[in-house]
Structure 1
Amino acid sequence: MIIPVRNLEQYRRQLNLPKPHKISDFIRKCPKLFELYKDQRGTLWCGMTKQAEDLLEEEERLIDEHSTKAAEFITRILMMSVDKRIHLDKIANFRRDFGLPIDFRKKWVNQYPEHFRVVKSKDGVEFLELVNWNPAWAITELEKKALGLTDGIGREPGLLSLPFPLKFPPNYKKVYRHGGKIEHFQKRSYLSPYADARELKAGSLEFDKRAVAVMHELLSFTIEKRLVTDHLTHFRWELVMPQKLMRLLLKHFGIFYVSERGKRFSVFLTEAYEGSELIEKCPLVLWKEKVLSLVGYRGKKKGIPTFSDLSDMEQKDLIEGETKDSICVESEEEETIGGLETLSLANHDELEIAHVSSAYKDTDQT
């Protein structure tokens, strides 16, 4: 599995590697994953190490094992949506977050016809549409944990009165004056994320608490219990959430943790973390941590071997592999090297507590 380094230029966006950074320099920083070679004509090639190939095979196996659970979560998102269908590209933005395979659009969506199907609108836009409503899945993850419920117990979704688990930042004492509001919010009943919410008035207390429940459910579905907020805004209409979604997340900082890295914001489910560590790590998260341990290694700089140094390579393999059809990098627009960023909350620049406090200004009394 090799490719000319110059052909990787077309994947700069997916690699999140803007110019003038050199792709070859990035590859050199990951010697445990990638290898560089030069053929007799001086063309620079990139190949994967045996360790990297083994990791790819392991990821494929883990994603396949996770596939049934991922199908359940995607189905439940469709069940929460207004029209029981969502733009396929919007779901694709969360491919890695939900542990979906790279062939999500082309193959995976057609493997569960009993749950959902791909339909096209009149203008050719593809949507993923719910096929069958499963009452056993119309139960929130919060209900399962708090009440000890399991799949197979179906009921009509309606009002819920369960409080959300809270974890506050160390400097919570600085905002103790909001304790009364938090207590009142926790006691208020709210509509289940799976119930019809079209009649709720935007901006009302009922509307906002139901939106918190939807966010809690979405984050519970992800493998790392976190999401990029930019992607979440795409679901505001389908899942009946407020326009000022960031304001809502900041307001309920005991339920959610918002962090900033560069110009990107991510939201974490606080109950799923102990400090900066994810409490329950699924096999895909453990795999990701294994890859991260091999990225950015800065060992002694080694020379790039030439073609004559590679006893196990034939010249014809290199020349024939230079055609466009031989490119082995399969990419999706939403994928970037940012998908390999650290899980640790400590590695993000925390928002000042003043930002959290200001989220309460000019809001309705609770």
Structure 2
Amino acid sequence: MKSFFFSTLILPSPFLSPNPFLHLQCRRIAKVRLKWVKNRSLDHIIDTETDLKAASLLKDAINRSSTGFITAKSIADWPKLLGLTIPVLRFIRRYPTLFHEFPHSRYANLPCFRLTDTALLLDQQESSIHQIHESDTVERLCRVLMMMKTRAIPLQSLRPLEWDLGLPCGFERSLIPKYPDHFRLVKASNGDWCLRLMEWREEFAVSALQRSNESSQLGDAYRQFKRGRTTLAFPMSF
């Protein structure tokens, strides 16, 4: 499908008025094909990260379940939520070390899944790591709220980011009540629950880039940055 756009060129032309230096010209947009280049190392990292995230979210879902297991029917429409491109049932069967499959007590043809002893041990270790690094989690959550104009964010918007932010499962019950000086659960005008920052945290309003430059040997360059006379170098490595 062809499309057009108009561009203004500065060209002298005696036939245009009132400004003889404006000329309206019609051009076509060229269709460009880019060759798809594969990066095996990056693809491997993405695949591993995707599987780890999906397995962790399924583990948390089983932990939250009142029955202690989930059924294949209940997770059938979760591929997008888990970031998968294959059916969830096929994915969960890849990892029998983590998820034990058994038939439903009433419906023999309905597969069910509970956590194995190995998965329960990993879950305990994960909980221990969350406790050890709880202060980092609180800081990270404060930073997210400080980026919001209202200093608040709906819980329904925050829950899908649990994995990416490193929040423990059920953080609104296990973490938030422990820090009343930092956070508060409030109800919005539409009835949704929101997490609100209690007060601005000046100690968190510093980027990691600033911290690294402040502690580096480039003291003069950082002082110039603080005075607004220069910018900080932002090294990138893929």
Name the TM-score class by shorter chain.
0.5 to 0.7
| Cα pair distance change 1:41/1:119, threshold 3 Å | closer
- The aligned amino acid for 2:134 is S
Q: 3-state DSSP class of the match of 1:9?
A: coil
Q: Does 1:10 align with 2:74?
A: yes
Distance in 1, matches of 2:125 and 2:107, equals 34
Name 2:175's counterpart in structure 1. Answer: 108
Name 1:148's counterpart in structure 2. Answer: 215
Contact persistence 1:86–1:128 (CA under 8 A): yes
Moved beyond 6 Å, runs of 4+: 1-5, 17-20, 39-42
Name 1:34's counterpart in structure 2. Answer: 99
Contact persistence 2:78–2:88 (CA under 8 A): no
Distance in 2, matches of 1:78 and 1:158, equals 27
Q: Which has the higher contact order (CA 8 A, sep 6+)?
A: 1
| Cα pair distance change 1:22/1:82, threshold 3 Å | closer
Distance in 2, matches of 1:40 and 1:32, equals 22
The alpha carbon displacement at 1:40 in A equals 8.9
Name 1:134's counterpart in structure 2. Answer: 201
Q: Does 1:74 align with 2:138?
A: no
Contact persistence 1:67–1:100 (CA under 8 A): no
For structure 1, the residue ranges without an aligned partner over 5 or more in a row are 150-156, 168-269, 276-366
Name 1:170's counterpart in structure 2. Answer: none
Contact persistence 2:130–2:168 (CA under 8 A): yes
| Cα pair distance change 1:20/1:70, threshold 3 Å | closer
Distance in 1, matches of 2:195 and 2:229, equals 28
TM-score (norm 1): 0.37
Distance in 1, matches of 2:105 and 2:201, equals 61
Q: Does 1:56 align with 2:120?
A: no
- The aligned amino acid for 2:146 is M
Of 147, 157, 162, the match for 1:90: 157
TM-score (norm 2): 0.54
Distance in 2, matches of 1:125 and 1:40, equals 37
Distance in 2, matches of 1:100 and 1:118, equals 16
For structure 2, the residue ranges without an aligned partner over 5 or more in a row are 1-61, 217-225
Q: 3-state DSSP class of the match of 2:72?
A: helix
The alpha carbon displacement at 1:108 in A equals 2.4
CA RMSD of aligned residues (A): 3.5
Q: Does 1:165 align with 2:230?
A: no
Contact persistence 1:3–1:45 (CA under 8 A): no
Q: How does 1:1-366 map to 2 (within 5 A)?
A: 7-14=71-78, 16=80, 21=87, 23=89, 25-38=90-103, 43=108, 44-148=111-215, 161-167=230-236, 270=237, 275=238
The alpha carbon displacement at 1:42 in A equals 7.9
The alpha carbon displacement at 1:36 in A equals 2.8
Distance in 2, matches of 1:92 and 1:162, equals 35
Distance in 2, matches of 1:117 and 1:95, equals 18
The alpha carbon displacement at 1:105 in A equals 3.1
| Cα pair distance change 1:128/1:41, threshold 3 Å | closer
The alpha carbon displacement at 1:57 in A equals 1.3
Contact persistence 1:117–1:131 (CA under 8 A): yes
The alpha carbon displacement at 1:62 in A equals 1.4
Distance in 2, matches of 1:140 and 1:58, equals 30
Q: 3-state DSSP class of the match of 2:184?
A: strand
| Cα pair distance change 1:34/1:166, threshold 3 Å | same
The alpha carbon displacement at 1:112 in A equals 1.2
Q: 3-state DSSP class of the match of 1:119?
A: strand
Contact persistence 2:142–2:182 (CA under 8 A): yes
- The aligned amino acid for 1:29 is R
